[in-house]
Amino acid sequence: MESAKHKRIELVTNTEVKAVTGDAGDFTVTLERKPWYVDISKCSGCGTCVDVCPITVPHAWEQNLKPRKAIYAMFPQAAPLKYVIDRDRCVECGLCMQVCLLDAIDLSQESTTEEIEVGAIVVATGGRVFDPSAMKQFRYGELENVVTNMEFERICNAGGPTEGELVRPDGRHIRSVAFVQCVGSRDLGNNPWCSFFCCMASVKGGRLVMEHAPGADVTVFFNDLRACGKGFEELYQRSVDEGMKFVRAIPSVHVNRTTNNPIVVYEDPQAGGIVRNEVDLVVLASGLEPSAGTDRIADVLGLRKDSYGFLSERHPTDGMAETRREGIFIAGVCQGPKDIPDAATHGSAAASKVGAFLSGGRSRLMSEMETDRAVGLEPTAREAGAEPGEVTYGDSHG
């Protein structure tokens, strides 16, 4: 939101980068601006049109836990806060046009193409969350009260489908939750990497449940609990002291058909034997993986990807925010899984690299890359397609 107000930042939304030509310091970027079917220079974001629109569809931003209309704003904090029409769902009844006092609705809009000139490019296309539907042991998509961490985020959010009230999808209040870690992460059958954010996100989520519903029963089922980061171990210990339970086990999920409660079934790591724990809600801590948007931009820009599909940095210690294409930088999860502090730090690093590059540091970067080549420093082993475990980024800490 701050960026949207900044005098020297132009926010170009609903737009796709189609092509990039030219060289570092002098790129031409071809943009496809997609239609909103609303003139955003006129739209005030009043929302009157929403009330009269007769079409209701599931809202993907709310993880389909809440409906939206065919004319909608993505979410209340969207920047810019303008309304857009989903033309695939719109029946062209014209009711929104009748109520819009600013005459902002324009169903005749089409995509337009434009070119902009830039000196440098930062790719920050993030990742996507692993879909656990195929992991049949968790019954996701089959049992109503088994949700992903993304859905749980919306349930807890004050602006979300339940307005922050801790209510599970079948409408009952939540007093006991089981978090299941490493869903789709650290799993050779799915994604072998650690997704980094999810252990602490579950600890945070568990604490939220305990705050909202004093006396609530929270159990985190983990593989290894990774509380790496300043203050994270302390937060984990505090949560243990306050009653959050941590069990080293990978459970499967069953159901009590009478209560509609999920039943978490696991082997007791200490006493042995099978334990059945009936809870109100199971939250699957789905991991991060490369997004389709990252794939697309990598193709357009000719960027290398590592063997997992994340964008490759120029060097794992001395070029984390740079790519091997001069003038093109990377930040955040598009390079590999991160939490918000690390993604923000990476973004700041990319911004300062761009600043240095545009103000004359270009020759330094070029000479660093030339030195790399001279000493035979090749792309990292993962980038070159080595199997995970052969040589990894951990080597750079040695």
Which residues are near ligand FAD by CB under 6 A? 16, 124-127, 129, 149-150, 153, 197, 201, 204, 291, 293, 296-297, 332-333, 338-341, 343
Q: What is the rounded end-to-end Cα distance, in angstroms, of the chain?
A: 40
Chain centre distance of CA 12: 20
Q: From ligand FAD, ligand SF4, none, which one binds at residue 296 (CB under 5 to 8 Å depending on kind)? A: ligand FAD
Q: What does residue 285 show for φ and ψ, rounded to 5 degrees?
A: -80, 80
Contact flag: residue 148 with ligand SF4 (CB under 6 A): no
User: Do residues 49 and 96 lie in contact, with contact meaning Cβ atoms separated by under 8 Å?
Assistant: yes
Residue position matching structure tokens 């006396």: 215
User: Do residues 132 and 184 lie in contact, with contact meaning Cβ atoms separated by under 8 Å?
Assistant: yes
Q: From ligand SF4, ligand FAD, none, which one binds at residue 191 (CB under 5 to 8 Å depending on kind)? A: none
Q: Where are the alpha helices (DSSP H) in the chain?
A: 2-5, 48-52, 95-99, 149-156, 198-212, 232-241, 292-301, 340-356, 362-374
User: Do residues 64 and 58 lie in contact, with contact meaning Cβ atoms separated by under 8 Å?
Assistant: yes
Q: d(Cα 244, Cα 55) in Å, to the nearest integer?
A: 43
Shortest distance (Å) from residue 386 CB to ligand FAD: 25
Interface with ligand SF4 in residues 318-357 (CB under 6 A):
none
Q: d(Cα 64, Cα 292) in Å, to the nearest integer?
A: 20
Measured from the CB atom, is 30 or 392 closer to ligand SF4? 392
Shortest distance (Å) from residue 190 CB to ligand SF4: 11
Measured from the CB atom, is 47 or 119 closer to ligand SF4? 47
Measured from the CB atom, is 146 or 263 closer to ligand FAD? 146
Amino acid (one-letter) located at 325: R
Q: From ligand FAD, ligand SF4, none, which one binds at residue 136 (CB under 5 to 8 Å depending on kind)? A: none
Amino acid (one-letter) located at 84: V
Query: Which of these segments, 122-130, 136-144, 179-187, 247-255, binds ligand SF4 (CB under 6 A)?
Result: 179-187
Interface with ligand SF4 in residues 280-319 (CB under 6 A):
285, 287
Binding site for ligand SF4 (CB under 6 A): 38, 43-49, 83, 99-100, 102, 104-105, 181-182, 185-186, 194-196, 198-199, 223-224, 226, 285, 287
